[in-house]
A = this chain, B = another copy of it.
Amino acid sequence: MTNSAPLNIALIGFGTVGSGVARILDTQAAAIASRAGREIRIRRVVVRDASKPRPFLPAGVNVTTDIAEVVNDPDIQLVAQLVGGVDPAYGYMKQFLAAGKDIVTANKALIYTHGAELFQLAAEQGRTIGFEAAVAGGIPIISAVTQALTGNRILSLEAILNGTSNFILTRMLDDKHSYGDVLKEAQALGYAEADPAMDVDGTDAAQKLVILTRLAFSTSVALNDFVRQGIDNLELLDLQVADDLGYKIKLLATARLNDGRLELSVQPTLIRKDRAIAQTSGANNIVAVEGDAVGMVTFSGAGAGQLPTASAVMADLIDYATGRTAVTFQSILRSAQQPSLPIQSPDELTRRYYLRLNVDDRPHVLADITDVLGRNEISISSVRQDETPEDRADGDARLVIMTHRTNEGRFRAADAELEKLACLRGTSIRLPVAE
């Protein structure tokens, strides 16, 4: 196929993604070699239990529990670091870079937490890090923002980046089930972890948004710089009322240039049903990128899963084999040196809002609440309170208020006053409405 020397790689981790990469390399060897310009050959695999059988590995591959065997093997040029979580992956990465190895990884938490430092370390060593698989699984969004759309100033990103949350929201509405019931179903199907906190509280989506924001806006940012809200307080009623009003509720990650400052948020958001983002169902991801030249370009597909993620890892392996990674990584390093944009204060986020308040079913409640909103200059667009069903467990009424455009700051002021009202029960919900 080609006369170049093979590229020898090591896989760290042989779980879902690692075995997917091995499977693709095993079944598509000739095609991959043609596209990469040389054979890509797994030489070593590091796992926790070396005695388990490992499918799709060619004969002669060394399976070990000892990371040092990879670090010290001068024939291994590239390491596919496919273990999740920050530790011990962080320590491994530093060892590999120090040993002069290039890295491809699917580890989003690691790139979020230590990306800047690891990129710098790689630059000092003359090495590269590929991380297409860290965001949005099989959707080639890293390559889009670092390569295909580089003729643009990026104006906004709007994305669904957490498949678990999107699966739960889709199923709740479709099957008329509660959040808790669908979460259990998602766990049984493998769409949600035993501990789903990072998925449903918005952390996973926010980390991915940060990684994209660094690349697309050359801006350094962390989770504490912006509003992050999960789906764990949503009720089926919220999804149904929004649906009646012409919206779907999605866990939307947004980064948008506003007068030279960056607006960032990860929040369940009401999105008009006719938009592609609203129609993204199940465990899928979508990223809508607006560039000053290209306009809106949308990328959608599987945001997770064995083979979609392995597809992204393979793209990085092939990019490395051809030499594309070396130039792309230089662009990423140059971009990181650009001056960061200022981040807009969360108080200034200006949108329409959906409020759902759980209230005591008695006189003057609506007057008390609308008085607080009015004094904080929050203008009401519509109000809806249906009769409380006999079988509702808590017996409280649900008051839904849509507001005109206002900002988060006014709500924070109103929140303190609302909390003092005796009529409010349990957890209220405040969701923005996308333009």
A contact residues vs B (CB 8 Å cutoff)? 1-2, 20, 24, 28, 31-32, 34-37, 132, 138-140, 143-144, 147-153, 274, 276, 279, 291-302, 305, 307-308, 310-315, 317-319, 322-324, 327-328, 330-331, 334-335, 338
Tell me the bound Cα distance from A1 to B339 in angstroms: 12
Cβ B37 vs Cβ A311 within 8 A: no
Please give, as numbers and ranges, the residues of chain B lying within 8 Å of A28 by CB-CB distance. 151, 153, 292
A161 to chain B, nearest CB (A): 15
Cβ A310 vs Cβ B297 within 8 A: no
Known contacts A295-B138, A300-B297, A302-B295; decide if A322 and B318 are in contact (CB<8 Å).
no
Contact pick for A308, options B153, B294, B322, CB 8 Å: B294
A33 to chain B, nearest CB (A): 9
| Most chain B C-beta atoms within 10 Å of own C-beta, residue among A35, A300, A313, A318 | A35
13 contacts between A and B (CB under 8 A): A1-B334, A34-B331, A36-B150, A138-B297, A147-B319, A149-B311, A150-B318, A151-B313, A151-B317, A151-B318, A152-B314, A294-B302, A322-B330
Contact pick for A301, options B20, B294, B335, CB 8 Å: B294
Contact pick for A295, options B295, B307, B323, CB 8 Å: B307
Known contacts A143-B143, A294-B301, A308-B293; decide if A314 and B37 are in contact (CB<8 Å).
no
Contact pick for A294, options B150, B279, B311, CB 8 Å: B311
Tell me the bound Cα distance from A276 to B147 in angstroms: 25
Tell me the bound Cα distance from A294 to B300 in angstroms: 11
Please give, as numbers and ranges, the residues of chain B lying within 8 Å of A132 by CB-CB distance. 148
Cβ A24 vs Cβ B308 within 8 A: no
Cβ A37 vs Cβ B148 within 8 A: no
Please give, as numbers and ranges, the residues of chain B lying within 8 Å of A302 by CB-CB distance. 294-297
Tell me the bound Cα distance from A328 to B12 in angstroms: 28
Cβ A293 vs Cβ B311 within 8 A: yes
| Most chain B C-beta atoms within 10 Å of own C-beta, residue among A24, A297, A302 | A297
Cβ B301 vs Cβ A300 within 8 A: no
